[in-house]
Structure 1
Amino acid sequence: MQRAEPRPVWMAQNEGPEFWDERTWWAQRHQKWFKASLNTLGQLYNESEGFHIIQMKYGCDLREDNTTWGFYQDSYDGRDFLTFDMETMTWVAADIGAQITKRRWDAEVFDNQQWKYYLEERCIPWLRSSLEYGKETLQRKVRPTARVSDRSSHDGLTTLSCKVSGFYPQDITVTWLRNGESRQQVTYSEGILPSGDGTYQTWVTMEIDPMIKAHYSCHVEHESLLEPLSVPWEPNNSLIPIVAGVIIAVVLVGVIIGVVVWKKRLPGKEPGMGGFPGLGGPCTHP
């Protein structure tokens, strides 16, 4: 549609047409800037043909102790490329190819000053406004559901799996305990993923020798819980979910859960909602 549009309802209700017109103008400008950068970077890395990606991540953190931090990072084809150092207002190159762009962007003193100003002075007020707009959604607490299961593994071992889902906010601690002691060093997790409904989910697995008698349990800590959630592994009952400590029997009939991991690709070298530093030129001249 070639338009910047709000996604959550609370953004649509609190920002007017002028805000989205400005977002659209920047997005269209960055389409051109990114195209030029992709062309020059492809030549620089001798990868001009095929599918290539530039990604940018920037923003600011507002921590519980009220301290703040800002960050900016670029990547090319999934590899680190450049990171902004706010203290020195210079760029940190991840490889030899990025050195050319680093030298060019280091020389753009005014742009770098504007980046530092934005990340330290402009981003936090905008973040506070967004938190106020969406406080009913962003500051809610949703308790997790935990379920343990098992399956046969190699060499007679058994893999225990603890699936924790439906929780918000994202931060959570999930560990397997054996006889009450943490086994975190021998567990595996694919990280915390979005569920698609505004909550998150994660899996933590561990291999055990079923011949060794021990008590295993999945231990969950989350700010929505008044006390940690502990779900024991019982081979005959491994498909019974535990919801915040309450056992609920359900019938599972061919349910398939699909998880989509979304990586936002942001165009251009621009710092966010208003007060943007200049774009400068493409990433590099090979």
Structure 2
Amino acid sequence: MQPCCLLLFPFFFFFPGTWAELEAGSHMLHLRHFVTFQNATSMQVQGLCVMGDINLGSLDSLTEDIHYHQPWLHSALPKGDWDVIESFVKSYLEDFNRLVQKLIRHTRVSYPFVFQTSKGCQIQPNGTARSFFVIGYEGQDLIRFHLNKGTWDRVPDNEMSATAEHLLNNATTLNELIQVLLNVTCVDILEKFIEYGRADLERQELPTATVFARKAGPAQLLLVCRITGFYPRPISVAWLRDGHEVPPGPALNTSAVLPNADLTYQVYSGLTVAPRDGHSYACRVRHRSLGTRSLLIPWGQSNAGLIAGLVVALLAAVVVIGALWVWRYRKRH
């Protein structure tokens, strides 16, 4: 690995950010870092590295050691590189904290407060790459790195962002290194991770869906479509009324996609309707694991299937009880 590659992970191994809905065939390496400063001498550090929605590694908030979560990670890079990475992580965390302390000495802040940083790179389906680096304060973007110019640009125009912009733009050597790390090294490492983690990236789990109803008011019924067990995360859920998609509106409400304990996902979608309104309803699910097909769960058939299942179960119970009664009768006589 090139020397700059060895600096990449300690420089931005753990950074915050939001879950990104990636275009099919696109891959992102995202490094997130959170530091909560309780007072001038006490702080809590959290970190995470993800590729798409695959958790690659995290930072132990107590020991600041790296925990690796994928068995193929160590094969992707030579052992010597990982040893250097771990030693540099410690140095990076100390340098970042000193930078924050220098920043707050020039501004008026009150404890506690949180700094976040988010950086990484993305490879598009056509092979082009883009990189990003953002520093945030209290959940809001504070300053962004301009990859082409190699300079920092303030996001809000306030005292803290202006001070951060001034401090970082004076570090010209550091900014030149950042350009190389983000534009070259990050992409090289992401390509390695894509190669070694292909099985995880291509993993697909079929969704299962059920439709049920709840009373939402005196003259309202809430139809709920629950979809779970699917992977990867992107999914499309829609309601059909008489075969036509229900447009967005106050009667339609779909939750965010949430994780399951088995590393799959779930989502709920609700539609408020009038009981016995004469329309037919169905929940339609589209997901990568289904290919070009759609999963369609009609509300009427869902009820019928549930009732049929209860009837079958009841009949089976009657048969078993009857058989036991006959066996006992014959045994007595």
CA contact (8 A) 2:258 2:267 kept: yes
Q: What letter is aligned with 2:233?
A: Q
Q: What letter is aligned with 1:11?
A: L
Q: What letter is aligned with 1:79?
A: Q
Runs of 4+ in 1 over 6 A off after TM superposition: none
Per the alignment, residue 270 of structure 2 pairs with 205
Alignment match of 1:82 (pick from 125, 143, 148): 143
Residues 111, 193 of structure 1: alpha-carbon distance in 2 compared, 3 angstrom cutoff: farther
* Number of residue pairs aligned between Structure 1 and Structure 2: 240
Per the alignment, residue 241 of structure 2 pairs with 178
Alignment match of 1:116 (pick from 148, 168, 179): 179
Residues 165, 100 of structure 1: alpha-carbon distance in 2 compared, 3 angstrom cutoff: same
* TM-score, normalization by structure 1: 0.72
Alignment match of 1:196 (pick from 258, 261, 264): 261
Provide the C-alpha distance between the structure 2 equivalents of 1:17 and 1:172, rounded to a whole number of angstroms.
Answer: 38
Structure in which a larger fraction of residues adopt strand:
2
Q: Once the two structures are superposed, what CA deviation does each residue of 1:146-191 show, in whole Å capped at 9, x if it has no partner?
A: 2223322246322222222222222221222222232352233332
5+ long unaligned stretches in structure 1: 241-246, 252-286
CA contact (8 A) 2:242 2:280 kept: yes
Q: What letter is aligned with 2:191?
A: R
State the percentage of identical aligned residues: 25
CA contact (8 A) 1:150 1:235 kept: no
CA RMSD of aligned residues (A): 2.9
Say whether residues 1:144 and 2:210 are aligned partners. Answer: no
Give the secondary structure class of the aligned counterpart of 2:290. Answer: coil
CA contact (8 A) 2:123 2:187 kept: yes
Q: What does 1:32-181 correspond to in 2, within 5 Å?
A: 32-39=94-101, 44-48=107-111, 50=112, 52-95=113-156, 96=158, 97-154=160-217, 156-181=219-244
5+ long unaligned stretches in structure 2: 1-62, 314-333
After TM superposition, give the deviation of residue 235 of structure 1 in Å. 8.6
CA contact (8 A) 1:5 1:20 kept: no
After TM superposition, give the deviation of residue 63 of structure 1 in Å. 2.1
Provide the C-alpha distance between the structure 2 equivalents of 1:157 and 1:168, rounded to a whole number of angstroms.
Answer: 33
Residues 93, 137 of structure 1: alpha-carbon distance in 2 compared, 3 angstrom cutoff: same
Q: Which has the higher contact order (CA 8 A, sep 6+)?
A: 1
Structure in which a larger fraction of residues adopt helix:
2
Q: Which has the larger radius of gyration?
A: 2
Provide the C-alpha distance between the structure 1 equivalents of 2:214 and 2:102, rounded to a whole number of angstroms.
Answer: 50
Q: Once the two structures are superposed, what CA deviation does each residue of 1:93-131 show, in whole Å capped at 9, x if it has no partner?
A: 232131221222233333333323222222222111111
Provide the C-alpha distance between the structure 2 equivalents of 1:83 and 1:101, rounded to a whole number of angstroms.
Answer: 10
Say whether residues 1:232 and 2:295 are aligned partners. Answer: no
After TM superposition, give the deviation of residue 75 of structure 1 in Å. 1.8
